[in-house]
């Protein structure tokens, strides 16, 4: 397990070198998209319409931030990861179509995404869920752009400038390994223990 500092845009080889359990810090540009923005980005791709900001070789952060507009400038007050599994519906297509290299979120993702990460060279990097204050205070330098505010601030397409954004834990690597799958194996044993303790016979 090592500590890795990367600048955006990412190069596929750097991403393929990341290992499960590595701590990653990102400097440069990241963008925020959740359910609705993912859906819209894929729809625009199908229609061959360019996104308002080029997201190629960047990191997507699954987050709906709390923001405040003061003197025409956006300030980010609280921004932690949301449950990434909801984006399982879209993320494989996003990785394929837009060469997303790092997916930042919480709780892990499913087989579809894991396979796309393996095939196209991307990783899942988790941050502590609910820890909304740590990243804005230390690592988010400014809001570069925001688009699609018609979706509401939590679902809009935000672009942030970040410095040493992390520590993010590599929990799915580009070889198809998943920390969550490892935990699941332990949980299978844990279920047996809990059943036994509670007197459940199956």
Partner 1 sequence: MNIKKIIINNVVELLRQASCELPNDVVKALRDGLKNEKKGSIAEAQLAAIIDNFEQAEKFCLPMCQDTGIHIYYVEFGEDVNWLRGTELKKALCEASKKATIDVPMRPNAVNPFTNMNSNDNNGRNIPFINWEIVKGDKIKITAFPKGGGSENMSSLGMLKPGEGLIGVKKFVVDTVITAGGQPCPPIIIGIGIGGGADIALKLAKKQLQRTIGERHPEKVIANLEIELVKAINMIGIGPQGLGGITTCIDVFVEYAYRHPASLPVGISIQCWAGRHASAVFDSNGNVKFLRK
Catalytic residues: 38
* Residue 65 makes contact with partner 1 by CB under 8 A: yes
161 within 8 A of 118, measured Cβ to Cβ: no
What is the distance between the alpha carbons of residues 158 and 149, in angstroms, rounded to a whole number?
9
Distance of closest approach, residue 99 Cβ to partner 1, in angstroms: 27
| Per-residue CA distances from 164 to 44, 103, 150 (Å) | 31, 16, 30
* Residue 85 touching partner 1 (CB under 8 A): yes
CB of 108 to partner 1, least distance (A): 7
Q: Would residue 82 be called left, alpha or beta, if left means φ above 0 and alpha means ψ between -120 and 50 degrees?
A: beta
Could you say which of 154, 161, 177, 181 contacts partner 1 (CB under 8 A)? Answer: 154
Residues 124 and 92: their CA atoms lie apart, in Å, by: 12
C-beta of residue 101 within 8 angstroms of C-beta of residue 119: no
Binding mask 20-59 for partner 1 (x = CB under 8 A): -x--------------x-----------------------
Q: Is 166 in the site for partner 1 (CB under 8 A)?
A: no
**To the nearest 10°, the Cα dihedral for 145, 4, 92, 97?**
50
Residue 171 interacts with partner 1 (CB under 8 A)? yes
| Closer CB to partner 1, 36 or 93, in the complex | 36
H helical segments located in the chain: 12-16, 35-46, 91-98, 111-120, 134-138, 179-198
Query: In this structure, are residues 64 and 146 in contact, taking their beta carbons and an 8 Å threshold?
Result: no
Q: Which of 10, 64, 95, 125 binds partner 1 (CB under 8 A)?
A: 64
User: Nearer Cβ to partner 1, position 96 or 181?
Assistant: 181
Q: Least CB distance from residue 186 to partner 1, whole Å? A: 5
Which residue ranges make up the site for partner 1 (CB under 8 A)? 21, 36, 63-66, 68, 77-80, 82-83, 85, 106-108, 126, 128-134, 137, 151-155, 169, 171, 179-180, 182-184, 186-187, 189-191, 193-195, 197-200, 202
């Amino acid at each position: 397990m090592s500590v890795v500092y990367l600048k955006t845009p990412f190069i596929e080889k750097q991403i393929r070198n990341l290992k499960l359990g590595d701590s990653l810090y990102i400097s440069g540009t990241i963008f925020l998209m959740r359910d609705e923005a993912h859906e819209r980005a894929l729809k625009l791709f199908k229609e061959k319409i360019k996104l308002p900001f080029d997201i190629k070789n960047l990191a997507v952060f699954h987050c709906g931030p709390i923001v405040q507009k003061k003197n025409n400038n956006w300030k980010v007050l609280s921004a932690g990861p949301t449950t990434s599994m909801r984006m399982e519906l879209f993320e494989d297509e996003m990785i394929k179509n837009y060469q997303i290299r790092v997916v930042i979120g919480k709780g892990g993702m499913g087989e579809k995404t894991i396979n796309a990460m393996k095939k196209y060279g991307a990783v899942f990097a988790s941050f502590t869920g609910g820890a909304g204050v740590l990243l804005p205070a230390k690592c988010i330098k400014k809001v570069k752009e925001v688009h699609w505010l018609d979706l509401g601030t939590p679902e809009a397409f935000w672009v942030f400038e970040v410095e040493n954004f992390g520590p993010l834990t590599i929990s799915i690597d580009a070889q198809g390994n998943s920390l969550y799958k490892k935990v699941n194996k332990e949980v299978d044993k844990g279920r047996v223990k809990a059943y036994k303790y509670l007197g459940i016979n199956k």
